[in-house]
Amino acid sequence: MIQIRKADERGRTRLRWLESYHTFSFGTYYDPQYLGFRTLRVINEDRVQPGQGFGTHSHRDMEIISYVLDGALEHRDSLDNGSVIRPGDVQLMRAGTGVMHSEYNPSSEDFDHFLQIWILPDEQGLAPAYEQRHFPLDARRNVLRRVASRNGRDDSLRLHQDAELYATILENGHSVIHELAEGRHAWVQVARGRVRLNGLSLQEGDGAALSDEPRVEIVADGAAELLVFDLG
């Protein structure tokens, strides 16, 4: 079974400095049909204006992943971490017992375009932690590159959850296949471009939930970038 979440059906937040699309219920946007999928709780597509950003705020008991598509995102937190992440970088912040952090666009000219992802942890009250990895374009081109996993396999970020996250950048006509073990589920999020997922057409911003499917097969209709979640 495949359920498609169309891009233009997502929730939307528009502020002077931010445009954000919410795949699942978030903030003031609430849809009882879209509270998350399995342990995947949030996928927000954010565009932040130059020199603007999210002031210091708190999180707890959540695995928070940031994936930059364009521009740069400056991160600072109460664990004394500070960095600027750019396309190819993937950041994981384990909020655990509580973290304060801020996220800003350090550019004076360019928008920052990124995906923020929340995954529920397998237990509450974990010690807060922070990781960041760079995954070069060549490591993601026309292959599914594991970027986060429960055990940190293949030098991926380490999640406290039975979940894996893969990233790929597909050239026109190229395809990737991910086999799903029995009882596993998948979410596919199209960050850019157009693809066919098990024969169904998806466009930029679309997502899709897969259950009781033996595999995820994605074919690019033009250049495309997407994320694939393998979930328990």
pLDDT per residue of the chain (232 residues) written in tens, 0 to 9: 999 999 999 999 999 999 999 999 999 999 999 999 999 999 999 999 999 988 888 889 999 999 999 999 998 888 888 899 999 999 999 999 999 989 999 999 999 999 999 999 999 999 999 999 999 999 999 999 999 999 999 999 999 999 999 999 999 999 999 999 999 999 999 999 999 999 999 999 999 999 999 999 999 999 999 999 999 9
Nearest partner of 26 among 74, 59, 49, judged by Cα: 59
DSSP H or E run through 165: strand 163-170
Give the count of beta carbons closer than 10 Å to the beta carbon of residue 40. Answer: 23
Q: How far is CA 49 from CA 89, 195, 202, 206, in A?
A: 20, 28, 27, 23
Helices (H), the chain: 137-140
pTM of the model: 0.96
What's phi and psi for 153, nearest 5 deg?
-60, 150
- Residue 106 near residue 138 (C-beta atoms within 8 A): no
Task: Give 162: exposed, middle or buried? Use CB within 10 Å, 0-12, 13-18, 19+.
Answer: middle
Among positive and negative, which fits the CA dihedral 36, 37, 41, 42? Answer: negative
